[in-house]
């Protein structure tokens, strides 16, 4: 897995090419009632709207897609963890730096729940601009939200300069996360809140899929905690309830379109926020 490529931009370009080659699929997505589309097809329609410059509409549709792709227990437990992090940082003067921000689900919660300036970072500049720059233009203009594309293994911040770091399902999806954990330890003078999701260590099929993605050990709670501790962090887990998690759906209107590569078979899963000092 390449660590420097903008996979978000590559995926976006690939979907754009698909729609050019299959305009009938794009028309079908546009014409069908959104309530009749499954989560994967809704996500594809979100990308189609984004390609046409309808960024706010695309973001709203993606949220609908996300809620269709996961069971209620997943959504409830995930949002409980977001609330925990936002509550912990409610009185933080900032800046709060969020790592691998992606579509900005945690960034959005931090902007609503705290008064601190927030810096969103991601390897992909395009995901920051498409999903955060377009959704929060006033906060960007005012300086409340800063968008900083960067590699988490080589962050543009001085030693000990950041009072609070957060990441939402980002640390687990970075190949060779020990480099990222060490770099986060270098720049942080306060706490890191790392929201993660885990599968049982004995779940051979899903842990094998994790390994095939180049992320071996990242979905093991004990393994990731040990890695963080080896980089100098003292780790306290804030663990949620366990739930059953099936694979996310694949597209019907857009055949084979996926939403999330994991899990590959139904399994037990749970969210944990590692509070690291």
DSSP string covering 100-159: S-TT-HHHHHHHHH--S-EEEEES-HHHHIIIIITT-HHHHHHTSEEEEE--TTS-SS-T
Of 97, 109, 242, the closest CA to residue 158 belongs to 97
Residue 16 has pLDDT above 50, yes or no: yes
Check residue 6 and give its pLDDT: 56
The pLDDT score that the predictor gives to residue 10 is 61
Angle at 121 between CA 42 and CA 89, to 5 degrees: 95
d(CA 73, CA 115): 30
For 185-241, write each residue's pLDDT tens digit. Answer: 999 999 999 999 999 999 999 999 999 999 999 999 999 999 999 999 999 999 999
Residue 96: what pLDDT? Answer: 98
SS (H, E, C) 40-106: HHHHHHHHHHHHCCCHHHHHHHHHHHHHHHCCHHHHHHHHHHHHHHHHHCCCCCCCEEEECCCCCHH
User: For 105-146, how does the pLDDT look when each residue is reduced to its tens digit (9 = 90+)?
Assistant: 999 999 999 999 999 999 989 889 888 998 899 999 999 999
pTM: 0.93
95 prior amide bond cis, ω within 30: yes
Q: What is the pLDDT of residues 233-243, one digit of tens each?
A: 999 999 999 99
Residue 185 and residue 270: Cα distance in Å, rounded? 25
* 3 state SS of 196: strand
Averaged over 7-24, what is the pLDDT?
77
**Antiparallel, parallel or unpaired: β 188-198 and 267-276:** antiparallel
Determine the pLDDT at residue 2.
Answer: 36
Least Cα distance to 247 among 232, 230, 266, 234 occurs for 266
Q: What is the pLDDT of residue 18?
A: 84
Close Cβ partners of 212 (under 8 Å, ≥ 6 residues apart): none
pLDDT in tens, 147-190: 999 999 999 999 999 999 999 999 998 888 889 999 999 999 99
What mean pLDDT comes out for the span 74-86?
Answer: 98
Six token digits for residue 108: 């959005």
Q: Which pLDDT belongs to residue 15?
A: 77
Chain-wide mean pLDDT for the chain? 92
Q: Report pLDDT for 1.
A: 33
Q: What pLDDT score was predicted for residue 9?
A: 61
Q: What is the pLDDT of residues 33-61, one digit of tens each?
A: 999 999 999 999 998 998 888 888 888 89
Q: Which residue shows structure tokens 């000092």? A: 277
How would you classify the pairing of strands 162-168 and 96-99?
parallel
Structure tokens that stand for 221 in this block: 């709670």
């Amino acid at each position: 897995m390449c660590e420097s490529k903008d996979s978000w931009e590559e995926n976006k370009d690939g979907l754009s090419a698909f729609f050019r080659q299959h305009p009938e699929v794009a028309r079908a997505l546009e014409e069908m009632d959104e309530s009749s589309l499954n989560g994967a097809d809704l996500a594809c329609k979100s990308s189609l709207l984004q390609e046409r410059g309808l960024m706010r509409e695309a973001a709203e549709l993606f949220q609908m897609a996300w809620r269709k792709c996961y069971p209620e227990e997943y959504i409830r437990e995930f949002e409980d963890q977001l609330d925990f992090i936002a509550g912990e940082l409610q009185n933080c003067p900032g800046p709060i730096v969020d790592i691998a921000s992606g579509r900005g689900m945690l960034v959005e919660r931090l902007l609503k729940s705290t008064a601190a300036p927030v810096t969103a970072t991601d390897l992909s500049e395009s995901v920051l601009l498409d999903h955060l720059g377009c959704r929060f233009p006033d906060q960007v203009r005012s300086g409340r939200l800063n968008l900083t594309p960067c590699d988490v293994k080589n962050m543009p911040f001085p030693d000990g300069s950041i009072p609070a770091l957060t990441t939402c399902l980002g640390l687990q999806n970075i190949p060779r996360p020990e480099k990222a954990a060490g770099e986060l330890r270098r720049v942080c003078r306060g706490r890191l809140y790392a929201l993660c999701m885990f599968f049982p260590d004995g779940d051979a099929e899903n842990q094998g899929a994790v390994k095939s993605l180049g992320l071996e050990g990242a979905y093991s709670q004990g393994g990731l905690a040990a890695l963080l501790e080896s980089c100098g962090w003292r780790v306290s887990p804030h663990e949620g309830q366990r739930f059953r998690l099936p694979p996310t759906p694949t597209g019907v209107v857009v055949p084979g379109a996926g939403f999330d590569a994991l899990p590959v078979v139904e399994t037990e899963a749970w969210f944990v926020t590692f509070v690291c000092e």
